[in-house]
Amino acid sequence: MSNARPTRSVLSVLAASLILAGSVLAGPEDQFTKYPVGVSIGGTEVGGIVDSGGTTTLSYEDAKKLGLLDADGDPVNPPAGSQRLGGTGGGSVDCHKFSKVKIKVQPKNADGTNNGPAKEVEVTVFVPKKPADQTGADDAAKERKTKSVVTKLGANVAGATIDGSKLDLKDKSTSDPAKNERGTGWIAANVQGEKKAPAKEDDNFEDDAIQETSLPAGAFFNGFPAQAFLNTAPITGVAQPLALQMGIVPVGQAVLDFESWSVLFLGGWTNQVPDADLAVPMQWGYAMIQLPTDDGGFIDVEPVRTFILPMGFVEDPQLAIVGGNGLIPADHNGWLDNAADRYNVSANGAGCAADFDGDGLVNTRDVLAFLNAWTAHDPRADINGDGAVNTQDVLAFLNLWTAGC
């Protein structure tokens, strides 16, 4: 990875080449980046996504399944209070605030199967109030607000140390250059990334309980410096005026899906209340994204398909959001460390002995790969580093494998 930042003129040529290349682009284009997890309370699991730049929320229906709300949508036990979440003014959602909720986080592979053990963490969770308790012009508007809240793990989970581990986001190339397989797993909390970008979590519970993770060193879009927010969930996007300055040329349209729209809304980036029945077509173009690192280099993620957020949909003409497809290069993993104010990126398997075959996943294939190496007295099988390949290494590996990454 080069430490030299490409000039805008070079990037303009590259961007033009990318547009002409069309379907032969080498990097991930999929816009709706959702790193999957399972969320459990009391043995009941629901699906969710990760959003390092937001709060932890449960959807209205999932909160019922998990026992926080009854069948009528009222709290089963008294909540810690009420909170207005996301948006501003009339665009906000009234939520119940539940403190010290014990949830189990179950990492998932891209195909939905479990990846490693579930680990428990105690956090604050926001749950939307029932439509009758929302503000809005009519019943339909109130219902849209309640339904706009999706189940997602925010910065208090994504950046936390849970039982000695951090939640790891994995990006793996597929045979389709326009898609990557995305999953989650565990990585040891003390593992250092090959590249570290400064990241700063900012908690604001005074107004709309917006929890943001910003990149204080900024990010480069097509060589153009911009202050940016970090968001591992669905979307990379810039406001329309900024897109013009960055030279992001519209090359197509894509529909903004409900979950992506909800993340923008609950992050306070748009006041437009998500509507699951309304398709929102938006222009998109390619951006060459770079995140400055501590060592003076960059994390290069290119090319990245980027939404051009129109005026009226967002109010901030300087808004830049670096989403999951703009954070993790293909065949890499990443994890947020709020305690150290750093976002870490490393090659799949780096720093994770349990991922013995280096495919970015911890599963039975790693056990088979290890046993084959151990039988052959391969030096890689010396897991405990004592200079000998013996049964102690088997025990050491199985302990690591059970803990996951």
pLDDT in tens, 286-345: 999 999 999 999 999 878 889 999 988 998 999 999 998 899 888 888 999 888 899 999
Mean pLDDT value of segment 54-63: 95
Please give the pLDDT value at position 317.
94
Please give the pLDDT value at position 2.
43
Please give the pLDDT value at position 208.
58
Task: Give 279 or 359, the one with higher predicted confidence.
Answer: 279
What's this model's pTM, rounded to 2 decimal places?
0.82
| Per-residue CA distances from 230 to 34, 106, 215, 261, 300 (Å) | 14, 23, 6, 16, 15
Mean pLDDT value of segment 91-99: 91
At residue 16 the predicted structure's pLDDT band, cuts being 50, 70 and 90, is: very low
Mean pLDDT value of segment 99-109: 95
At residue 21 the predicted structure's pLDDT band, cuts being 50, 70 and 90, is: very low
- For residue 388, how far is the Cα from the chain centroid? 40
List of domains in the chain: 8-28+193-347 (2.40.70.10), 36-158 (2.40.70.10), 364-403 (no CATH)
At residue 78 the predicted structure's pLDDT band, cuts being 50, 70 and 90, is: very high
Mean pLDDT value of segment 268-274: 89
Please give the pLDDT value at position 174.
79
Please give the pLDDT value at position 25.
43
